[in-house]
A and B are shown apart, each in its own frame.
Chain A
Amino acid sequence: AQTVTQSQPEMSVQEAETVTLSCTYDTSENNYYLFWYKQPPSRQMILVIRQEAYKQQNATENRFSVNFQKAAKSFSLKISDSQLGDTAMYFCAFMSPAGGTSYGKLTFGQGTILTVHP
């Protein structure tokens, strides 16, 4: 079974600065998908960024980027130029590819509450 660990329960950052959220995972699979989800106070789950394990290039979506270290099983999220609207809970999640034992099922980390201060 896969496990996902987020070791930072809470983080804070000043507006316009950069912050990095950590995530480690454990799996015996070679190919898989990794995600970062954002959950604002509205409770809605919003996909922020995704990474396929077979791709060496780190994913980037505007101000959000990841540092994917497959050998270390690490998947951190960097938020640049932080904005007040980035204040939310952030979850790291794992999913097996099609045909894998956990395809379609997301395994989540514990979450990190990020607060952006003005």
Chain B
Amino acid sequence: NAGVTQTPKFQVLKTGQSMTLQCAQDMNHEYMSWYRQDPGMGLRLIHYSVGAGITDQGEVPNGYNVSRSTTEDFPLRLLSAAPSQTSVYFCASKGRGPYEQYFGPGTRLTVT
């Protein structure tokens, strides 16, 4: 199993550009989520999904869109990037047990 994979690992965008951060898992997990990590603030939940076709907002959803057309994939879209979205982004998937939370390697995004 590859676990949770994220692409790209690094990305630089200009203000106003759009892009999609990719996330995939091969563990057949129903629950997937996106977090952003900022200095002094820990990780904060952006969006999550409890299964294909079902998504919901987390703590900091503004400026981000998600969709879940398959169990495996959960992409995060930035429609018009802003400098405030400069951060490290983590995708995670969760198995049935309460302790089974698997994180991807993260994407460092810089918006200039």
The interface residues of chain B, by DSSP majority, are classed as: strand
In Å, the complex CA distance between A109 and B42 comes to 6
In Å, the complex CA distance between A52 and B44 comes to 22
Decide: A108 and B44 in contact? CB cutoff 8 A: yes
Q: Which residues of B contact A91 (CB under 8 A)?
A: 42-43
A73-92: which have CB < 8 Å to B?
91
> Which of B60-68, B77-85, B93-101 lines the interface with chain A?
B93-101
Any A CB within 8 A of the CB of B74: no
Decide: B105 and A106 in contact? CB cutoff 8 A: no
The interface residues of chain A, by DSSP majority, are classed as: loop
Contact of B45 among A98, A106, A109, A110 (CB under 8 A): A106
| Chain A proximity mask over B69-112: 1 for CB below 8 Å, otherwise 0 | 00000000000000000001010101000110101011000000
A6-55: which have CB < 8 Å to B?
6, 9, 33, 35, 42-45, 47, 50, 52
Decide: A111 and B42 in contact? CB cutoff 8 A: yes
Q: Which residues of B contact A109 (CB under 8 A)?
A: 42
Decide: A44 and B103 in contact? CB cutoff 8 A: yes
A112 to chain B, nearest CB (A): 10
Decide: A43 and B106 in contact? CB cutoff 8 A: yes
In Å, the complex CA distance between A100 and B99 comes to 15
Decide: A45 and B103 in contact? CB cutoff 8 A: yes
Q: Which residues of B contact A105 (CB under 8 A)?
A: 33, 45, 48, 58
Decide: B40 and A108 in contact? CB cutoff 8 A: no
B3 to chain A, nearest CB (A): 10
Any B CB within 8 A of the CB of A114: no
B89 to chain A, nearest CB (A): 11
**A-B contact list, 19 entries, CB within 8 Å:** A42-B105, A44-B106, A45-B103, A50-B98, A95-B98, A97-B98, A98-B98, A104-B31, A104-B94, A105-B33, A105-B58, A106-B43, A106-B92, A106-B101, A107-B45, A108-B42, A108-B43, A110-B41, A111-B40
Complex A-B, nearest 6 residue pairs according to Cβ-Cβ distance, in ascending order: A108-B42, A45-B103, A108-B43, A43-B106, A104-B31, A110-B42
